[in-house]
Amino acid sequence: MVTLQATTKRRLTYCAMLAGLAALAGAASAAAKAGPVTDANVAERVESARTDADHAALAKYFKAKSEAETPRIEHFEKLYRAYLQLDGKSWGAVQNDARSLLKAARMSQAEYSELAQAHLHLSWKDE
Amino acid, single-letter form, for residue 104: A
What number of CA atoms fall less than 13 Å from residue 79's CA on the CB side? Answer: 17
pLDDT classification of 3: cutoffs 50, 70, 90: low
Q: Does residue 17 have a pLDDT over 80?
A: no
pLDDT score, position 72: 97
Nearest to 119 by CA among 41, 37, 29, 40: 37
Please say whether the beta carbons of 61 and 43 come within 8 A: no
- Distance of alpha carbon 65 from alpha carbon 36, whole angstroms: 13
pLDDT score, position 29: 41
pLDDT score, position 90: 87
The whole-model pTM stands at: 0.69
- Distance of alpha carbon 72 from alpha carbon 116, whole angstroms: 19
